[in-house]
């Protein structure tokens, strides 16, 4: 069975990526929903899923010290290139890069490298289909790996339940977790805003998607805040072989729907219809 992945990304957080993902959910059939924005997941706030299971996500091994075996020789403090061990031999987990040097130099075998839990993966059910989402502990840095795990778990859900589409709320920005979000996907939708920084971010995201084999489309959120910049975004999209498929207006009703934790395309159906949302859905599916 072929499973199609549609990924929504943006050059930075807060551009309307999750608003668009949540708005698409009720319009698609036979879907699994995946939230790959593991650093700041908030799709669940609008979809209100019922958690079925949760598992720990284990990142890199980190150093753990047994102070009862420590002779305070300071060899580990002097050897740690990341300044992760204090003079009182307390290891700062946020600074530890898991290199294992301290374990190697410790003459008392007081240090061991141990698995550390850096996040949680959730399997859940929404009104519209199963959902996989995750949360990385703030400050931890294995988000690319966690993004891949969320996508794989979503694929397993789709295979087991015979669902043909995975809708992914991707990671924002241009880092490795964005690449993990879009690699192998059929369609990528970039959400941007009509500002100079929106245009700049869009161009940087295109630099990534240029190496990507699937189709890439653009959505301008709050397009009416600057029609001039919206035109520039349309021109840039065309230049990069893409196309602006949807322009969502800035409207206080949208803000209210989100504040009320409602799916915007359901709460403000007319507004979305006027923007051509149904046609947009047809083009991306």
Residues near ligand SF4 (CB under 6 A): 63, 65, 70-76, 79-80, 82, 84-85, 89, 91, 96-102, 105-106, 108, 110-111
Question: Which residue number, 95 or 215, has a Cβ lying nearer to ligand SF4?
Answer: 95
Name the 3-class secondary structure at 119: strand
Q: How far is the CB of 93 from ligand SF4 (least distance, A)?
A: 9
Question: Which residue number, 33 or 102, has a Cβ lying nearer to ligand SF4?
Answer: 102
What SS3 string covers 211-240? CCCCEEEEEEECHHHCHHHHHHHHHHHHHC
Question: Which residue number, 81 or 211, has a Cβ lying nearer to ligand SF4?
Answer: 81
Q: How far is the CB of 38 from ligand SF4 (least distance, A)?
A: 23
Contact (Cβ atoms closer than 8 angstroms) between residue 243 and residue 212: no
Q: How far is the CB of 232 from ligand SF4 (least distance, A)?
A: 46
Contacts with 27 (C-beta within 8 Å, 6 or more apart), sequence order: 265, 277, 278, 281
What's the rounded Cα separation, in Å, for the pair 168 and 146?
A: 14
- What is the number of H-type helices and E-type strands within the chain? 12, 9
Question: Which residue number, 45 or 94, has a Cβ lying nearer to ligand SF4?
Answer: 94
HSE (CB half, 13 Å, CA atoms) of 213?
Answer: 4
- By 3-state DSSP, what share of the chain in percent is helix, strand and coil, each rounded to 5? 40, 30, 35
Q: How far is the CB of 67 from ligand SF4 (least distance, A)?
A: 8
Length of the chain: 285
Q: How far is the CB of 59 from ligand SF4 (least distance, A)?
A: 13
Question: Which residue number, 106 or 229, has a Cβ lying nearer to ligand SF4?
Answer: 106
CA distances from 154 to 103, 140, 145, 168 (A): 38, 23, 14, 9
Question: Which residue number, 72 or 156, has a Cβ lying nearer to ligand SF4?
Answer: 72
Q: How far is the CB of 176 from ligand SF4 (least distance, A)?
A: 21
Question: Which residue number, 60 or 179, has a Cβ lying nearer to ligand SF4?
Answer: 60
Of the candidates 26, 1, 13, the one whose C-alpha atom is nearest the C-alpha of residue 198 is: 13
Paired strand residues for 165 = 4, 31
Q: How far is the CB of 23 from ligand SF4 (least distance, A)?
A: 44
């Amino acid at each position: 069975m072929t499973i199609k992945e549609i990924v929504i990304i943006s050059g930075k957080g807060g551009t309307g990526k999750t608003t668009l993902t949540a708005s698409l959910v009720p319009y698609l059939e036979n879907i699994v929903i995946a939230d790959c924005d593991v650093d700041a997941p908030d799709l669940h706030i609008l979809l209100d899923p019922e958690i079925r299971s949760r598992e720990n996500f284990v990142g890199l091994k980190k150093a753990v010290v047994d102070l009862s075996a420590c002779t305070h020789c300071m060899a580990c403090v002097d050897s740690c290139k990341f300044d992760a061990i204090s003079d009182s031999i307390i290891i700062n987990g946020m600074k530890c890069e898991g290199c294992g040097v301290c374990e190697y130099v410790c003459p008392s075998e007081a240090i061991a490298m141990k698995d550390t839990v850096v996040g949680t993966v959730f399997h859940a059910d929404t009104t519209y289909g199963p959902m996989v989402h995750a949360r990385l502990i703030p400050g931890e840095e294995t988000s690319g790996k966690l993004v891949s795990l969320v996508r794989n778990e979503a694929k397993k859900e789709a295979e087991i339940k015979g669902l043909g589409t995975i809708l992914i709320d991707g990671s924002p920005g241009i880092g490795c977790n964005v690449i993990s979000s879009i690699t192998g996907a059929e369609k990528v939708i970039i959400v941007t805003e009509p500002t100079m920084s929106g245009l700049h971010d869009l161009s940087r995201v295109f630099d990534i998607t240029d190496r990507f084999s699937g189709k890439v489309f653009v959505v301008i959120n709050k397009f009416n805040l600057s029609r001039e910049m919206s035109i520039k975004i349309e021109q840039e999209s065309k230049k990069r072989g893409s196309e602006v498929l949807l322009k969502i207006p800035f409207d206080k009703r949208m803000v209210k729907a989100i504040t009320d934790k409602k799916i915007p395309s359901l709460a403000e159906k007319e507004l979305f219809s006027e923007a051509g949302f149904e046609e947009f859905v047809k083009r991306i599916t």
